[in-house]
Amino acid sequence: MGNEIISTRDKQILTSLINEYILTAEPVGSRSIAKKYNINLSPATIRNVMSDLEEIGLLHQPHTSAGRIPTERAMRFYVNSILKVKRLSAPEKNRIRKKYKFSELEASDIIKQTSEVLSVLSHHMSIVSAPKIIGTILKHIEFIKISKNRILVIFVSQSGFVQNRIIEDHDDVSQNELDKYNNYLNKTLVGISLEEVSAKIEKEIKKEKIIYDKLLSKALLLSKKALGKEFKPELYIEGQVNLLECPEFAEVEKMKTLLHALEEKNLLVNLLTKSRDAEGVQIFIGSEAQLSDMQTLSIITSPYRYGKNVIGALGIIGPTRMDYLKLIPIVEYSAQLVTEFLNVKFE
């Protein structure tokens, strides 16, 4: 939708209505706009404009006697064409930074703290994906026997994040043998990305000397098995109770629908993966987020980096009437802080 669809006057009324709806979560009437938003128009004129906006799909009237609320389409138009997002001031950035304790944390802890801080700052629900292990540089790999035919494989990235995977092996290898594999693999594979690890394993396996060395061959085959499936990033979620306090979800059935949508972690992971692969802040409004039947939620996300590589994403989930003007810069700056922390800690 382009700016040319509605006039400057209509845009002013739509903006006022959306701002009031963000504040109250209630249908907005023409009198409220006339009194509060310094528009030199009568309530009757405003009401006619609201009716026109409803006809083109930007407003919705839930009840005949009620005011109107913005549609999902209107919120997208508001975010794309009306909203003027400002960067945080130095004092605002400093207040956010003080909520973190970066110097006291290991890399794996910072993700959990980020989800907690984002929830507090936004008063909504936060989601943060742990870094994807693929694409990061391998620092350490270890095989640990946990039962007769099951082995725990631990990958540690150079940026300090840990990913575990359990594989099955029918040879019933002893821990003593696994330790030998660990020593060999940590000399052979450490210091390269996991994509490169997979390629190097294939190359090593094809070497003639490996064919005749049972220990080396077995170590590489177990590594290949461990890397055979895609790693799913762990997801940290905080602040679900914040959403339950929103008036939109006060009704029992709506609350049930909300909780069901938030249980679909695979959808949230996919959403953050999509955000991770994009540049900058991404905003998914209502059905754009594709969270089950929950079309009254919006999500603001931003990727974070280690070096030049995007390795994860973070964001907040709130009602579609969330305060985008306030929350977009918070999400953007939080991603910058995580990026800064990782690169300073592990430079």
* Structure confidence by residue, pLDDT tens digits, 133-189: 655 678 888 999 998 888 998 888 776 777 788 888 888 888 998 998 899 888 888
Q: What are the DSSP E strand ranges found in 130-260? A: 138-147, 150-157, 162-168, 235-238
Report, as an integer, the average pLDDT of 217-227.
Answer: 80
Q: Does domain 3-82 have CATH number 1.20.20.10?
A: no
Q: What is the structure's pLDDT at 2?
A: 46
pLDDT at 41 over 80: yes
- Under the banding of pLDDT at 50, 70 and 90, the label for residue 1 is very low
pLDDT at 120 over 80: yes
Task: Outline which parts of the chain fall under CATH 3.30.450.40.
Answer: 90-132+234-345
- Under the banding of pLDDT at 50, 70 and 90, the label for residue 199 is confident
pLDDT at 193 over 80: no
Cα separation, 50 vs 18, in Å, equals 12
Task: Outline which parts of the chain fall under CATH 3.30.390.60.
Answer: 138-226
Say if strands 138-147 and 150-157 run parallel, antiparallel, or are unpaired: antiparallel
Task: Outline which parts of the chain fall under CATH 1.10.10.10.
Answer: 3-82
Beta bridge partners of 315: 127, 301
Cα separation, 276 vs 223, in Å, equals 27
90-132+234-345 to CATH, choices 3.30.450.40, 3.30.565.10, 3.10.180.10, 3.90.1150.10: 3.30.450.40
Residue 205 neighbours by CB distance under 10 Å: 15
Q: What is the structure's pLDDT at 3?
A: 46
Q: Which residue has the higher pLDDT, 8 or 103?
A: 8
CB 330 within 8 A of CB 155: no
Report, as an integer, the average pLDDT of 74-79.
Answer: 95
Return the SS3 of 111.
helix
pLDDT at 346 over 60: no
Q: Which of 24-38, 143-157, 216-230 has the lowest mean pLDDT?
A: 216-230
Phi, psi (deg, nearest 5) at residue 305: -125, 160
- Under the banding of pLDDT at 50, 70 and 90, the label for residue 65 is confident
Looking at the chain, the whole-number percentage of residues with pLDDT higher than 90 is 41
Q: Domain 138-226 carries which CATH code?
A: 3.30.390.60
Phi, psi (deg, nearest 5) at residue 312: -170, 180
Residues with Cβ within 8 Å of residue 157, at least 6 apart in sequence: 131, 133, 136, 137, 138, 139, 163
Question: Which range among 153-157, 198-202, 209-213 has the greatest average pLDDT?
Answer: 153-157
